[in-house]
Amino acid sequence: MDLSAINPILLVAALMSAATPILLAATGELVVERAGVLNLGVEGMMIIGAICGFAIAVETGSPTIGFVAAAVGGALLSLLFAFLTQITLANQVASGLALTLFGLGLSALLGQGYVGIKPPRMPDINFGPLADIPVLGPILFSHDPILYVGLLIVAVVWAVLKFTRVGLVLRAVGENHDAAHALGYKVVRIRTLAIMFGGACAGMGGAYISLIRVPQWTEGMTAGVGWIALALVVFASWKPWRVLLGAYLFGGITQLQLNLQGAGVAIPVEYLAMSPYVITIVVLVILSADKSAAPGSLGRTFHASS
Amino acid sequence: MVRFEKRPQPSRLFAYATPLLAVLATFFFGGLLFAALGKDPVVSIVTIFWEPLFGEFSFFYRPQLLIKGAPLVLIAIGLSLGFKAGIWNIGAEGQYIMGALVGAGVGLAFYPTESVLIFPLMVLAGALGGMLWAMIPALLKVRFGTNEILVSLMLVYVAEQFLASMSLGLLKNPEGFGFPGSRNLQQYPSAHNAEIIAGSGMHCGVVAALIAVIFAYVLFARHKLGFAIRVTGEAPRAARFSGVNPSRLVVFCLGASGMLAGLAGLFEVSGPAGQVTIDFNVGYGFTAIIVAFLGRLNPIGIVLAGLLMALTYIGGDIAQSQLQLPAAAIQVFQGMLLFFLLAFDLFTNYRLRFGRSEVA
């Protein structure tokens, strides 16, 4: 065992990259849940994003177009969920599970020709001399653009929810859909848009795994990240900045256990690989005492006649 | 102008018709999918749904129907208890793995002793393993209010890692020339879940599934607990007033579904699968969710749905070898089924109205 092989600066830099898929997916889901919809299909939308992004990036040679395609793919899949829960008024838990099962199958089907291919690499942003600052340089200024896009999305979501009329309407729909409907807001339309935003974010998160983190395509490669993202929204009490904190915490754990595996710690690999899931459970237990932050209409079906 | 009007009572007709409509719609869109993959849609559908039952080699495939259907029905019956009460155990896959591991572990511990007591002991251990694994989300929910959906699902990934560790470590066959995986239980008569009538596919798991179906039927039709489950699902507040203890119900529903999933895992690992390997589980725990919904959370419906799902597995294998239809296409097909089911369910609770709505 050689713990000195773990460089703390590189660890923190890698942690930010490890956290980005969770961060993107969780921020999207946060918006969906603030609108009062519980979409358990995050895992399915992520894996669809992963394969759409991968396939399009390979075909076009451009990772940027790949990420756009991933967002579109995730949003399209989420439209299925929106149709089920908003138009046909199906149970949200069941529909979310259906979305995940369907997404996993569909991604395996789409990804058949792409196993074992290397995708085009997305270059890091060149910050010039900033990247040479000791400690801060490698941590803050040596990443790919999508990582910064993720941070930007968190900031925008926070600002929109807190300071704008759109955010207020979205929260009103999530807190009490009957009251929002009575005020004349289009509950179904607003929720559908929120669901699509969530799908697009999850799709980009998935593509981040297949294009930047891993980078290759294997079946079921998201391996529960979508579910961790769902847990993270609860952890964050539905607040954007706490999602960021949580994502970095989980990213840190994921990265640390990978580094420990690499350093050859005496703990067997399987037990290290379990740790992110176990820690998710522990965190959920600690934080689930306080449910007051949950949007009032979360998971409830809305029908205008009732 | 089309709009939906809530029915005063759910339609009984549509409650039964929805699964059939969903299956028909899935045939249609599944056919389109197969056509998009460059296969003849009619031939594909016939290969998947007709060949295993009435084709030339049906004598070989029909027993498979029981072998693949039994774990699905066993798990889905357990899940239906919770789903009816709004308690969502979606970690059946993990409980299935843990049941198989604990049960097989007990059996292997006795190797090479031969005794008639070993298999019953393994069955008990399997049930206990699955149940204890499901107790984790149950107790966390009761004690701390933790979301059982997320916890039970996280535990699937933990169980998968544990399975990998066991089949590479503790349970590894010492005479296996270093290959991962345990001793083959099919070659250890005391621990082998053999077919009761050779060649029929009828092993102890099938019997257990039938018993579970009968128990669930009686529970819902005749027992107070079944009533408590139904009321809790439909009107949680009313259930509280009628004296239902929600915590007990959570523990019962998760415990029972974990137990049944554990049993399914044990019967699989000691019978058709034969040994503990890294990937002996094939996702029955997740497919069973579709089975439970397709069967309308009704015991008899679940049997029919389980057989249909088993058919898609078997037919899918045939289509894979004969038509080179990718395995993932069957997965998509199964997912589609659940989508259509949920969508058509609208008509159970709402009726379609044409014309403008009147201003009240």
For B9-66, write each residue's pLDDT tens digit: 877 888 788 888 888 998 898 888 888 888 888 888 888 888 888 877 778 888 888 8
pLDDT at B6: 79
Average pLDDT value for residue range A264-278: 81
Residues of A in contact with B151 (CB under 8 A): 281, 284
Task: Suggest the residue from A33, A88, A254, A301 to mutate for an interface test with chain B (most B CBs closer than 10 A).
Answer: A88
C-alpha to C-alpha distance for A107 and A94, rounded to whole angstroms = 20
Query: What digits encode the pLDDT tens for the residues B308-354?
Result: 989 888 888 888 888 888 888 888 888 888 888 888 888 887 887 77
Would you place residue A165 in the very low, low, confident or very high pLDDT band (cuts 50, 70, 90)? very high
Torsion of CA B335, B337, B340, B345, to 10 degrees: -110
Strand partners, B350: B6
Structure tokens given for A146: 């999508």
Query: What digits encode the pLDDT tens for the residues B27-38?
Result: 898 888 888 888
Residues of B in contact with A98 (CB under 8 A): 290, 335, 338-339, 342
State how beta strands B2-6 and B350-354 pair.
Answer: antiparallel
Average pLDDT value for residue range B287-295: 89
Nearest chain B alpha carbon to A267 = B165
User: Which comes out higher in pLDDT, residue B79 or B117?
Assistant: B79
Residues of B in contact with A228 (CB under 8 A): 154
pLDDT at B356: 62
Query: What digits encode the pLDDT tens for the residues A46-83?
Result: 999 999 999 999 888 888 899 999 999 999 999 999 99
Please provide the size of chain B in residues.
Answer: 360
From chain A residues 258-277, the ones with a CB under 8 A of any chain B CB are 268, 270-271, 273-274, 277
C-alpha to C-alpha distance for B36 and B335, rounded to whole angstroms = 17
C-alpha to C-alpha distance for B195 and B177, rounded to whole angstroms = 29
Other beta carbons within 10 angstroms of residue A4's beta carbon come to 7
Interface TM-score (ipTM) > 0.90: no
pLDDT at B256: 93
Q: Nearest CA of chain B to the CA of A135: how many Å?
A: 35
The one-character DSSP state at B353 is E
Contact across the interface for A101 and B165, Cβ inside 8 Å: no
Residues of A in contact with B90 (CB under 8 A): 97
Tell me the CA distances in angstroms from B272 to A160, B110, B201, B206, B259, one per residue in order: 56, 21, 9, 12, 20
User: Which comes out higher in pLDDT, residue B275 or A24?
Assistant: A24
Claim: this prediction has a pTM higher than 0.95: no
Three-state SS string over A12-51 comes to HHHHHHHHHHHHHHHHHHHHHHHCCCCCCCHHHHHHHHHH
Query: What digits encode the pLDDT tens for the residues A79-109?
Result: 999 998 888 888 888 889 889 989 988 998 8
Question: To the nearest whole percent, how much of chain B has pLDDT over 70?
Answer: 98
Alpha helices (runs of H) in B9-57, residue ranges in sequence order: 12-36, 41-49, 51-54
Least CB–CB distance from A102: residue in B168, B329, B332? B332
Task: Suggest the residue from B5, B161, B296, B359 to mutate for an interface test with chain A (most A CBs closer than 10 A).
Answer: B161
pLDDT greater than 70 at residue A126? yes
C-alpha to C-alpha distance for B102 and B130, rounded to whole angstroms = 8
